[in-house]
Amino acid sequence: MALLNRISSANIGIFFLILQANKTRYMSGKITFTMIKPDAVADGHIGAILGKIAEAGFKFKALKLTQLTEADAKKFYKVHAARPFYGELVEFMSSGPIVAAVLEKDNAVEDFRTLIGATNPADAAEGTIRKMFARSVGENAVHGSDSDENALIEAQFHFSGREIF
């Protein structure tokens, strides 16, 4: 009986691994991850920003209001750990609620970066989300993944499999 239990739990484990691998393959190239940052949430722009994202043809695969702890923000932005703005970035990103979302569209990563505009809103094109809603280069309203690989890592950082539809 114990042996049977071990076999069936191993099978279930393998089944879920295959499911996860298929889901990841299916999503690659079509998804990106975003956060509406604490400045834009505090400034009351959640609705307007989600509206612009939907109008641009992105589908919502996952969505929630949440808040990063300091440890979460450190981990999420660890590629920037050596940059001079890292401390401020971590403090800012954990300072208040954010909206996290997984978005689907063909060419999602690149198209979303075009929709949000340059990191510094002073350089962002007219009509982009950062141009319209960002306060500054640091408090710049939204995050957008920079590659398909990071989109998956970032989506999984914020959402469990059962929260992504």
Please report, as ranges, the residues that interact with ligand CDP according to CB under 6 A. 80, 85, 89, 119, 137-138, 140, 143, 146
Residues 126-155 that bind Mg ion (CB under 5 A): 146
Rounded to a whole number of angstroms, the minimum distance from the CB of residue 105 to ligand CDP is: 18
- Choose the one of ligand CDP, Mg ion, none that binds residue 16, judging by a C-beta under 5 to 8 angstroms depending on kind: none
Q: How far apart (Å, rounded) are the C-alpha atoms in residues 155 and 147?
A: 12
Cβ-based nearer residue to ligand CDP, 6 or 80: 80
Tokens at residue 107, please? 């060419």
Cβ-based nearer residue to ligand CDP, 62 or 90: 90
Q: What sign for the dihedral angle of Cα 53, 55, 59, 61? A: positive
Q: Are 33 and 154 in contact (CB under 8 A)?
A: yes
Binding site for Mg ion (CB under 5 A): 146
